């Protein structure tokens, strides 16, 4: 149980194009999903928290207009990197939160490798 998928697993795009990454909780409903970014050999940096049916909450320094997050249902959240540039190349990981009584446990997707040429 508690499986989270991401699609695509990797994507290469040209500079200036937009890329959409999907995050799905396959066997549970996730009221909260999280998007992280990871640079090579570095830790995960939280980009934003999305709650189903409401606007995402972005961490300080993350451009809302560049990283569009939509959490349209309890099992799907999407991250769209708009007008991508080479500096947006990174490993993007989502997680989905499942209520476990008094805390919310996060289950992580396998990640999406984005390369912008």
Partner 1 sequence: AQSVAQPEDQVNVAEGNPLTVKCTYSVSGNPYLFWYVQYPNRGLQFLLKYITGDNLVKGSYGFEAEFNKSQTSFHLKKPSALVSDSALYFCAVSRTGGGNKLTFGTGTQLKVEL
Closest CA to 21 of 76, 96, 83: 76
Rounded to 5 degrees, what are φ and ψ at 87?
Answer: -70, -10
- Among the listed ranges 11-19, 61-69, 77-85, 92-100, the one in contact with partner 1 (CB under 8 A) is 92-100
Q: Which is nearer to partner 1, 10 or 83 (CB)?
A: 10
Residues of span 42-71 touching partner 1 by CB under 8 A = 42-44, 46, 49
Q: Which is nearer to partner 1, 4 or 116 (CB)?
A: 4
Q: Which residues contact 94 (CB under 8 A, 6 or more apart)?
A: 4, 6, 21, 23, 33, 34, 35, 36, 77, 79, 108, 109
* Binding-site ranges for partner 1 (CB under 8 A): 4, 6, 32, 34, 41-44, 46, 49, 91, 93, 95, 97, 102-111, 113
């Amino acid at each position: 149980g508690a499986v989270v998928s991401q699609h695509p697993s990797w994507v290469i795009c040209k500079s200036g194009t937009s890329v959409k990454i999907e995050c799905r909780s396959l066997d549970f409903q996730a009221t909260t999903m999280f998007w992280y970014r990871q640079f090579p050999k570095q830790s995960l940096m939280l980009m934003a928290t999305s709650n189903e049916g409401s606007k995402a909450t972005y961490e300080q320094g993350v451009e809302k207009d560049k990283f569009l997050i939509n959490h349209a249902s309890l099992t799907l959240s999407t991250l769209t990197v708009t007008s991508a540039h080479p500096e947006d190349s990174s490993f993007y990981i989502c997680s989905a939160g499942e209520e476990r009584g008094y805390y919310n446990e996060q289950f992580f997707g396998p990640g999406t490798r984005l390369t912008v040429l």
